[in-house]
Amino acid sequence: MKRDRRHFLGATAALTATLAAPTVWGQGSGRPKVVVIGGGAGGATAARYIAKDSDGGIDVTLVEPSRDFYTCFFSNLVIGGFREMASIRHSYGKLASEFGVNVVHDWAIGIDRDAKTVTLAGGAVLPYDRLVVSPGIDFVQGSVPGWDVSAQHAMPHAYKAGSQTELLKHQIEAMPEGGLFCMIAPPNPFRCPPGPYERISMVAHVLKERNPTAKILVADPKEKFSKQALFEDGWETHYGGMIERLGPDFGGGNVSVDPAAMTVDIDGEVNEVAVCNVIPKQKAGRIAELAGLADETGFCPVVPATMQSRMDENIHVLGDATNQGDMPKSGFAANSQAKVAAMAIRGALTGSKVFPAKFTNTCWSLISPENGIKVGATYEATEDKIAKVDGFISQLGEDADQRMETFVESVGWYSGITTDMFG
Ligand SMILES: Cc1cc2nc3c(=O)[nH]c(=O)nc-3n(C[C@H](O)[C@H](O)[C@H](O)COP(=O)(O)OP(=O)(O)OC[C@H]3O[C@@H](n4cnc5c(N)ncnc54)[C@H](O)[C@@H]3O)c2cc1C
């Protein structure tokens, strides 16, 4: 075995796996095997489509540590009080019971690309013919000086949904009268380009109702952001005077935090904050990086037509972890990419027909009650990248009925995509 192609999540994990004398599961069933790492928008969709469309012809195992998956999509609406936490929680029960997916709740800690096996934290080793890697994002250590995950209780990111979402919501609701909410926005590329700005809208909505003298400050390292004119118009109309955004020209990229003192230093000016939402710089989920699938961008280059890794043709990478071209890092995009990969994998393993890859995406955002906006596009696979074909965006000055229709559309999309992921 070539040791340089064995990739583990760290020496301790590798040692644990070795000492545990791992059993290689699933050998000898005769069916081709697909292992999927990560049960989010990309991974759950891929697992479901491969199992469903191969009608039992492919043995699919999904590795995901969480028993319940909380979608990041619509988690901002939970913060705004428009949804309950329970409404964004989903289980893997149907994938197992209705679609025959072998759901294993564990962490993948190593990928041996020569042996074509995945090692789990519990010690098991899963063989694969094709591997799907959809681990989402991790944060770049040190990208916001003063912050690391040990400070995520004092200064939550709420960029992986669940307890972080509830914590941030609680902190906003408990803010002292007239207090300051600060967001440290991330540099490109990052998960959900409109996400931070939809969140600002939701925070402003809550504060307008409960704490109207409170202020919101956004420190942003980017010149521009998604749907900027639409957001800024909405903020002016609905939350006039409450929100201030400092872009890079005003020091928004020169920030450090002190979670113990609850202060934020922006370009040398120290601000006392009641709540600080730190959204750090991002990279592909750690397992993808450690498997040697990421490039110098921190994300994983892929072949657009099949979503195969450019580092290993037996591995398909999906969603936020990819460096693929023009698609934003969104749940809609991950779901769309997963269907392309599922078709390619079935084609390779069972000889089923493979059609040309087509991708779509729409990102909806809520600015204020029933005031929805959207941006979207279709894409095709070229040699180099997933390339945008054509797109659309909500317009300034749309009437309330149009905005309501866009919001209703987003509610229908949420229901559709979560059924597409989890059955
Ligand atoms: C606030 C916010 C709002 C958003 N709103 C929208 C929206 O309105 N529309 C939209 O389309 N998108 C939205 N998104 C983006 C969307 O959530 C992500 O783009 C999408 O979830 C990416 O899918 P994924 O499969 O790449 O990763 P994820 O959905 O994050 O799934 C990754 C999974 O992999 C698992 N995992 C990680 N490492 C391992 C490992 N070693 N072993 C096993 N499992 C592992 C994780 O536990 C996780 O469950 C939003 C994001 C945020 C933060």
Question: Which pLDDT belongs to residue 13?
Answer: 43
Cβ atoms < 10 Å from Cβ of 303: 17
Q: Is the pLDDT of residue 93 over 50?
A: yes
**324 CA distance to ligand 1 centroid (A)?**
16
**Domain boundary at 322, 354, 386, which?**
354
Query: What CATH number is given to the structural domain containing 129?
Result: 3.50.50.60
Residue 130 inside a domain? The answer is: yes
Average pLDDT of the chain is 94
- Nearest protein Cα to ligand 1, atom 41: 108
Residue 415 inside a domain? The answer is: no
Question: Which pLDDT belongs to residue 21?
Answer: 44
Mean pLDDT of 403-411: 98
Residue 400 inside a domain? The answer is: no
Same domain, 162 and 82: no
**320 CA distance to ligand 1 centroid (A)?**
7
The atom number, within ligand 1, closest to the CA of 109 reads: 41
**40 CA distance to ligand 1 centroid (A)?**
5
Same domain, 164 and 247: yes
Q: Is the pLDDT of residue 179 over 60?
A: yes
Same domain, 97 and 177: no
Residue 328's closest CA among 364, 292, 355, 280? 364
Predicted confidence band of residue 307 (pLDDT cuts 50, 70, 90): very high
Tokens describing residue 384? 């180099």
| pLDDT tens-place string over residues 344-373 | 999 999 999 999 999 999 999 999 999 999
The atom number, within ligand 1, closest to the CA of 365 reads: 8
Same domain, 107 and 213: no
**373 CA distance to ligand 1 centroid (A)?**
21
Same domain, 207 and 235: yes
- Please give the radius of gyration of the chain, using alpha carbons only, rounded to the nearest integer: 22
Domain that holds residue 268: 144-280
Residue 178 inside a domain? The answer is: yes
**Domain boundary at 294, 326, 354, which?**
354
- Nearest protein Cα to ligand 1, atom 11: 331
| pLDDT tens-place string over residues 14-50 | 434 444 444 444 445 699 999 999 999 999 999 999 9
Q: Is the pLDDT of residue 310 over 70?
A: yes
Same domain, 186 and 310: no
Residue 399 inside a domain? The answer is: no
| pLDDT tens-place string over residues 228-277 | 999 999 999 999 999 999 999 999 999 999 999 999 999 999 999 999 99
Q: Environment class of residue 51 by beta-carbon count within 10 Å: exposed (0-12), middle (13-18) or buried (19+)? A: buried
Question: Which pLDDT belongs to residue 26?
Answer: 47
Number of domains within the chain: 2
Instruction: From 197, 330, 411, 415, give the residue whose CB has the most ligand 1 atoms within 8 Å, as the site to mutate.
Output: 330
Residue 395 inside a domain? The answer is: no
Which residues are near ligand 1 (CB < 6 Å)? Answer: 37-43, 63-66, 69, 72-73, 75-76, 107-108, 134-136, 159, 191-192, 195, 199, 285, 287, 318-321, 329-332, 334, 363-364
**Domain boundary at 333, 354, 375, which?**
354
The atom number, within ligand 1, closest to the CA of 287 reads: 41
Same domain, 123 and 95: yes
| pLDDT tens-place string over residues 109-120 | 999 999 999 999
Same domain, 26 and 154: no
Same domain, 257 and 209: yes
Instruction: From 159, 167, 191, give the residue whose CB has the most ligand 1 atoms within 8 Å, as the site to mutate.
Output: 191
Question: Which pLDDT belongs to residue 6?
Answer: 54
Share of the chain above pLDDT 90, in %: 93
Q: pTM, whole model, 2 decimals?
A: 0.95
CA 113 to CA 109: how far, in whole Å? 13
Residue 268 inside a domain? The answer is: yes
